[in-house]
Amino acid sequence: MNWNQNKVIAHRGAYKKNNFPENSIASLKEAIRLKCYGSEFDVHLTKDNFIVVNHDDDFLGMPIASSTYGELRQEMLHNGEHLPTLENYLNEGMKQDHTKLILEIKVGQSLLATLTLTEAVLEMVKKLKAGPWIEYISFSYEALLRILQHDPMAKTAFLAEINDELPVETLKKDRIQQADYDFNIYETGDWFNRAHQLGMTINAWTVNDKKDMLALIENKIDFITTNEPELLLDLLRIDKK
Ligand code: MG
């Protein structure tokens, strides 16, 4: 394993510049080609228990939770790919060992639905032996706790929007290793020093503006999730010189 040492996480893969579909195999491959630290993606569970990679809880208007994978496969992404399953996606990501796969467990319609998805993901990761490639992120604190119950060594990060954030001390107590918050949250409070003193890391999302990226880099942010990984990689190269 030889993970890229930079701060760049491509949000839903590196899709934007080349107009690839978000969360597609093509956008994952592009994030790998760019040598991003990580490529982020989202997962949902179909009615017949396939884990699929998609941001929204519907695919082209078809609700994922009440559709079979066979039904969802009848429509295509705009580049001609089928909706990827988690298995397809991990198999592609595991062809290399430079870019981490940042797996977001989406919050379902109930806690039970979220935890059912979480269990299914853990089972798939175990089956494919994909653990070393993966970092888990979720807005569901319970999903992260469940992951850590099964795999105490897993890297997990708690996602939060403004007003939902928890202190890094709380995350630390629960062995969650990273705060992964809306970047505006870090404008107040001493997040970076407190996290680093605890041996934790901080990620900010979704940062697409050069000025915001530079301010976060100045503040010693560990990771930035962005729709503009090319821009952030350029800024970091300049920063190094
Ligand atoms: Mg996501």
Instruction: Answer whether 20's CB lies under 8 Å from 27's CB.
Output: yes
22 Cα–ligand 1 center, Å: 10
Give the mean model confidence (pLDDT) for residues 60-68: 97
40 Cα–ligand 1 center, Å: 6
218 Cα–ligand 1 center, Å: 25
What lies within 8 Å, CB to CB, of 234 at 6+ separation is none
pLDDT at residue number 104: 98
- Would 99 be classed as within a structural domain? yes
Domain hosting residue 91, numbered range: 8-240
- Would 3 be classed as within a structural domain? no
pLDDT at residue number 241: 57
- Would 1 be classed as within a structural domain? no
202-223 per-position pLDDT tens digit: 999 999 999 999 999 999 999 9
Give the mean model confidence (pLDDT) for residues 116-131: 98
Task: Record the pTM.
Answer: 0.97
Distance (Å, whole) CA 230 – CA 227:
9
66-108 per-position pLDDT tens digit: 999 999 999 999 999 999 999 999 999 999 999 999 999 999 9
Q: Which amino acid is residue 130, in one-letter code?
A: A
- Asked if residue 168 has pLDDT above 60, the reply is yes
31 Cα–ligand 1 center, Å: 15
- Would 2 be classed as within a structural domain? no
pLDDT at residue number 1: 83
241 Cα–ligand 1 center, Å: 32
Q: Considering its fold, how many domains does the chain have in total?
A: 1
Give the domain CATH number at 142: 3.20.20.190
Q: Where are the beta strands (DSSP E) in the chain?
A: 8-10, 38-45, 51-53, 58-59, 62-63, 100-105, 134-138, 155-160, 178-182, 201-205, 223-226
- Would 163 be classed as within a structural domain? yes
- Would 64 be classed as within a structural domain? yes
95 Cα–ligand 1 center, Å: 22
Distance (Å, whole) CA 120 – CA 51:
7
pLDDT at residue number 8: 98
232 Cα–ligand 1 center, Å: 18
pLDDT at residue number 236: 94
11 Cα–ligand 1 center, Å: 7
33 Cα–ligand 1 center, Å: 20
**Banded pLDDT at 125 (limits 50, 70, 90):** very high
